[in-house]
A = this chain, B = another copy of it.
Amino acid sequence: MALRETNPNFMNGVPELLILSLLGEQEMYGYEIVQAIRQRTAAVIAVGEGVVYPVLHGLEGDGALKSRRKTINGRGRIYYSVTPRGARRLADLSQNWTNLTTAIQNILIGGQNAQAVL
């Protein structure tokens, strides 16, 4: 089951968020995503292909992504793009991420009058 409702380890699912976010801008293929993440984050985050491909397959299986084959220079590529369902998923994950970082910031900033802000 790709759907995560059980055991929501609060820190997981970030690769999925990153991938959906990139594909939200433009269609991309797997290998390209691996490098885009590395470059855009100055190698702070370096997810491998072993992370990206399974996420891609999982999201497509859930109907969050759709794919199409293209042949370029005789080499096949599988381009992915987000479906409406994927867009919703992205919005959800994005919101969760914001909530999470805000929550953590509330503790890091710490201090006496720190009130959790919704």
Contacts and interface: CB of A to CB of B under 8 A. Distances in A.
A22 B97 contact: no
Identify whether the interface residues of A are mostly helix, strand, loop, or mixed.
helix
Nearest to A101: B101
B24 A110 contact: yes
B40 A116 contact: yes
Interface in A1-46: 10-12, 14, 17-18, 21-22, 24-25, 37, 39-42, 44-45
Contacts of A83: none
Given A10-B14, A40-B106, A42-B116, 16 more contacts: A10-B44, A10-B45, A11-B11, A17-B108, A18-B104, A18-B107, A18-B108, A22-B107, A25-B111, A39-B116, A40-B107, A41-B104, A41-B106, A41-B107, A42-B117, A101-B101
The 9 closest A-B pairs by CB, nearest first: A42-B116, A41-B103, A44-B103, A11-B11, A25-B110, A44-B99, A45-B103, A40-B107, A18-B107
Interface of A: 10-12, 14, 17-18, 21-22, 24-25, 37, 39-42, 44-45, 47, 94, 97, 99-104, 106-108, 110-111, 114, 116-118
